[in-house]
Amino acid sequence: MTLVVCGVDEAGRGPLAGPVVAAAVILDPARPIVGLADSKKLSPRRREALAEEIREKALAFAVASASVEEIDRINILQATMLAMRRAVEGLATTPALALIDGNRCPVLAVPARAIVGGDATEPAISAASILAKTARDAEMCRLHAERPEYGLDRHKGYDTVAHRAALQLHGPAWFHRRSFAPVRKAAEAA
């Protein structure tokens, strides 16, 4: 009997805008996926193709998030742990072990192990990294359609020169993280 293991990773801890998104994935050993890697090392096109294959071949997967309001209320680390817990709890199959990318684990109902750099070494974490990144990018593009003046389709909410300039010009929108210093400063200046 094979141990059922899920990989867990997040996307969006650093940006000034949008939710933090986590994914949990249980891969099917009988249906290997070639090319899994840390999502940040893949082109957007390759990430999208792999995300589709992961959703098709995985034994189970779940994507969850923590909102901007939650990030501002409990801080980004706690919001990340919350999104990860929601992702693991959202799996249709309960894993025997959760492998978490990073140096700490969320509180889970199943045993968990943190692996620094796990998104580059553990295929299930790589798969979770890809699902979290593609889901978050899609959300940022949806927000861009609502408020194009911030350029979210290009920088996905990260702290770029263009994003800071838009914050100075337009002030923060509802999807900006007001607990983050650049957003707080822009709000005070507005």
Q: Which two tokens stand for residue 119?
A: 């998104």
* Axis crossing angle, helix 161-170 with helix 181-189, rounded to the nearest 10: 30
The helix (run of H) or strand (run of E) holding residue 62 is: strand 60-66
For the entire predicted model, the pTM comes to 0.96
> What tens digit of pLDDT does each residue of 13-52 get?
999 999 999 999 999 999 999 999 989 999 999 999 999 9
> What tens digit of pLDDT does each residue of 83-111 get?
999 999 999 999 999 999 999 999 999 99
Identify which of 126, 119, 88 has the alpha carbon closest to the alpha carbon of residue 102: 119
What dihedral angle (degrees, nearest 10) is formed by the CA atoms of 69, 90, 108, 52? -90
Is residue 10 over pLDDT 70?
yes
Residue ranges per domain, the chain?
Answer: 5-148
Query: What confidence category does residue 2 fall into, taking pLDDT thresholds of 50, 70 and 90?
Result: confident
Q: State residue 30's pLDDT score.
A: 96
Note whether 10 and 125 are within 8 A (CB): no
d(CA 153, CA 23): 21
Q: State residue 190's pLDDT score.
A: 78
Q: State residue 35's pLDDT score.
A: 95
Query: What confidence category does residue 3 fall into, taking pLDDT thresholds of 50, 70 and 90?
Result: confident
d(CA 71, CA 127): 24
> What tens digit of pLDDT does each residue of 114-164 get?
999 999 999 999 999 999 999 999 999 999 999 999 999 999 999 999 999
DSSP 84-128: HHHHHHT-SS--SEEEEESS-----SS-EEEETTHHHH-HHHHHH
Q: State residue 47's pLDDT score.
A: 97
CATH architecture for residues 5-148: 2-Layer Sandwich (3.30)
Is residue 1 over pLDDT 70?
no
